[in-house]
Amino acid sequence: MNFFNTEVNQISESKDFQVSSASLKEVRAFTRDVFKKISLPQEQKDELVLAIAEAAQNIVKHAYKDVEETKDKMQIKISLKNDQLEIGFFDKGKPVVPENIQHRKLDDIKPGGLGTFFIKQIMDEAIFKKNQKGWVNHLVLTKTI
């Protein structure tokens, strides 16, 4: 269920997406729609869209690694309270071991491994929370905007 408070500094919206690379376009569209309601420089909105899309991509690429096709959904929840932006990602893929998540060193030029780096560059914090009912992984990205 989506809920939208019309106050500019308070938002809580969520949406489910099919776990598929084809959904990433929809993830960006949803994110852009939510950010239209927030007063922020466009450049910062673009960065946040990138961070959210990268986190969604990580679900498809890593939590569902070696899964050809799935009917599973992932959920993205964007919340803003005053200047605190929180984005939650929920999925039912393989359990993530946070200690194993590392971006590649930037001077090791090779394809891949940049998504997590972008997320860390853009957001203040990225943490996995435990014990989410009905979900396996719950990533929370936060940023003071």
Site residues (vs other proteins, CB under 8 A):
21-22, 24-25, 28, 43, 46-47, 49-50, 53-54, 57, 60-61, 106, 109-115, 117-118, 121
Query: Residue 86: CB partners within 8 Å, gap ≥ 6?
Result: 78, 79, 80, 140, 141, 142
- Structure token digits, residue 101: 């998540």
Q: Which is nearer to other proteins, 15 or 79 (CB)?
A: 15
Q: Which is nearer to other proteins, 117 or 128 (CB)?
A: 117
User: What's the per-residue H, E or C state across 30-52?
Assistant: HHHHHHHCCCCCHHHHHHHHHHH
3-state secondary structure of 141: strand
Give bridge partners of residue 17 from the DSSP assignment.
74
Q: Which is nearer to other proteins, 117 or 135 (CB)?
A: 117
Q: Which is nearer to other proteins, 25 or 81 (CB)?
A: 25
The distance of closest approach from Cβ of residue 46 to other proteins in the complex, given in angstroms and rounded to an integer, is 6
The distance of closest approach from Cβ of residue 71 to other proteins in the complex, given in angstroms and rounded to an integer, is 18
The distance of closest approach from Cβ of residue 3 to other proteins in the complex, given in angstroms and rounded to an integer, is 28
The distance of closest approach from Cβ of residue 6 to other proteins in the complex, given in angstroms and rounded to an integer, is 28
Q: Which residue has the tokens 């922020």?
A: 40
What Rg, from alpha-carbon coordinates, does the chain have? 15
